[in-house]
Amino acid sequence: MFSFFKKKFGSTPVQEPAPAPTTPAVATEPVAAAPLPAAPVAEAAPRKTWLEKLKQGLRKTGSSIAQVFTGTQIDDALYEELESALLMADAGVKATEFLLEDLKRRVKEAKATEPSAVRGLLIESLTELLKPLEKALSVGEHQPTVVMVVGVNGAGKTTSIGKLTRHLADAEQKVLLAAADTFRAAAREQLSVWADRTRVEIVSQEGGDPSAVTFDAVVAGRARGCDVVIADTAGRLPTQLHLMEELKKIRRVIGKAQAEAPHEVLLVVDGNTGQNALTQVKAFDDALGLTGLIVTKLDGTAKGGVLAAIARERPIPVYFIGVGEKLEDLQTFSAREFAQALLE
């Protein structure tokens, strides 16, 4: 379905064949043998369906911006309307200023005279702004790769872990889950359900210390030869300082169980929260040193511009974006695809 991680196979680099459309492809080391033939056209179908869903999900955000380009001339009024539309979409002041300045330069260089042409130039500008957020989740450089997942309650953290686990398991990765949200029974049960669905093992302890659970999971993952250990932590607001300290403790304890771990610290953010999502990114990054983001619930949002704000103010890679509850609704992030879905 998509390429999202790397796996190293001993000292001889190899490339695995492209999987079926329902499972993600594996990005591997450089190929030593002859190049594989191009993937069948049929494999593009799931991605095309996904892009249509993304476009539908971003319609509320994009429609207000698109209305700006329905006029008859390019003038100050057009740029003022565009500025308002971008701010209303929660692109933020800094990203909006960047996009307007860059857009004016592109319009001048292209000698554009029609507002409809300006929209195409805005797609290029937005793509360039979002490009630094593109990065593939890497798995295989460590044995196991330890992933710590954080986020506020309701952002879709545990569900995103379940979907990611399914994709990894489908790609023949041995995954172990750590239910480190030990004091919320519903969270443990939800993660356990995903473990059953994906046929992976889980380390769980009712009422135990979250740090102890993650420590045991990493040790178990190493002993069992797992490829990936994913720790689900308790949801919390970044303003809950005593609880944020607990996350820092979990991070330190993981490092004691395995050197240089956690290798990935992922924040799951709700795309509907707009500028509040940017606030969360900054707070969790300052506390934990984030390596990547999963942006969920972009279906039906009017605040999809927040990715522009993140790109301008805290450009942490967006590994995945989600537009629904189904497994295939979690996909890798592409700057151009996002820009086109938003503005076309």
Q: How many domains does the chain have?
A: 3
Please indicate, yes or no, whether residues 192 and 307 belong to a single structural domain of this protein.
yes
pLDDT in tens, 274-290: 888 999 999 999 999 99
Could you give the C-alpha distances from 228 to 64, 262, 265, in angstroms and in order?
42, 11, 13
CATH at 295: 3.40.50.300
Nearest CA to 172 out of 339, 304, 5, 337 is that of 5
Where is the domain boundary, 107, 132, 157? 132
* CA angle, 217 then 220 then 222, to 5°: 110
Nearest CA to 295 out of 272, 331, 273, 269 is that of 269
Where is the domain boundary, 91, 113, 132? 132
Please indicate, yes or no, whether residues 145 and 258 belong to a single structural domain of this protein.
yes
In a domain, 165, yes or no: yes
pLDDT per residue, tens digit, the chain (344 aa), is: 445 565 543 333 333 344 444 434 334 333 333 343 444 444 556 677 878 888 888 888 888 888 888 877 888 888 999 999 999 999 999 999 999 999 999 999 988 888 888 889 999 999 999 999 999 888 888 889 999 999 988 888 888 998 899 888 888 899 999 888 766 666 678 788 878 787 888 888 776 788 999 999 999 999 999 999 999 987 777 777 777 888 999 999 999 999 888 999 999 999 888 888 999 999 999 999 999 999 998 887 778 889 999 999 999 999 999 887 877 788 899 999 999 988 87
Residues 31, 34, 35, 40: what is their CA dihedral angle, to the nearest 10 degrees? -130
Distance (Å, whole) CA 130 – CA 335: 5
Please indicate, yes or no, whether residues 78 and 198 belong to a single structural domain of this protein.
no
Look at residue 141 and give its three-state secondary structure.
coil
> Which residues have C-beta within 8 Å of that of residue 136, sequence separation ≥ 6?
3, 4, 5, 6, 27, 319, 332
pLDDT of residue 45: 64
Q: Identify residue 320 by its one-letter amino acid code.
A: F
In a domain, 343, yes or no: no
Please indicate, yes or no, whether residues 265 and 186 belong to a single structural domain of this protein.
yes
In a domain, 330, yes or no: yes
pLDDT of residue 158: 87
Please indicate, yes or no, whether residues 120 and 171 belong to a single structural domain of this protein.
no
Please indicate, yes or no, whether residues 219 and 318 belong to a single structural domain of this protein.
yes
- E strand or H helix at 231: strand 228-232
- Contacts by 61-65, CB closer than 8 A, 24 or more apart: 61/89, 61/301, 61/302, 61/303, 61/304, 61/305, 61/342, 62/304, 62/341, 62/342, 62/343, 62/344, 64/88, 64/89, 64/302, 65/89, 65/122, 65/342, 65/343
Q: What's CA 39's distance to the chain center, in Å?
A: 25
Please indicate, yes or no, whether residues 146 and 167 belong to a single structural domain of this protein.
yes
Please indicate, yes or no, whether residues 73 and 174 belong to a single structural domain of this protein.
no
In a domain, 217, yes or no: yes
The backbone torsions φ and ψ at residue 49, rounded to the nearest 5 degrees and listed phi first, read -65, -40
Please indicate, yes or no, whether residues 313 and 200 belong to a single structural domain of this protein.
yes
In a domain, 37, yes or no: no
- Structural domain of 11: 3-32+42-55
Please indicate, yes or no, whether residues 120 and 212 belong to a single structural domain of this protein.
no
- Distance between first and last Cα of the chain: 24
DSSP state, residue 235: P
pLDDT in tens, 302-325: 788 899 999 999 999 999 998 878
Please indicate, yes or no, whether residues 196 and 123 belong to a single structural domain of this protein.
no
pLDDT of residue 34: 39
Please indicate, yes or no, whether residues 116 and 238 belong to a single structural domain of this protein.
no
In a domain, 262, yes or no: yes
In a domain, 344, yes or no: no
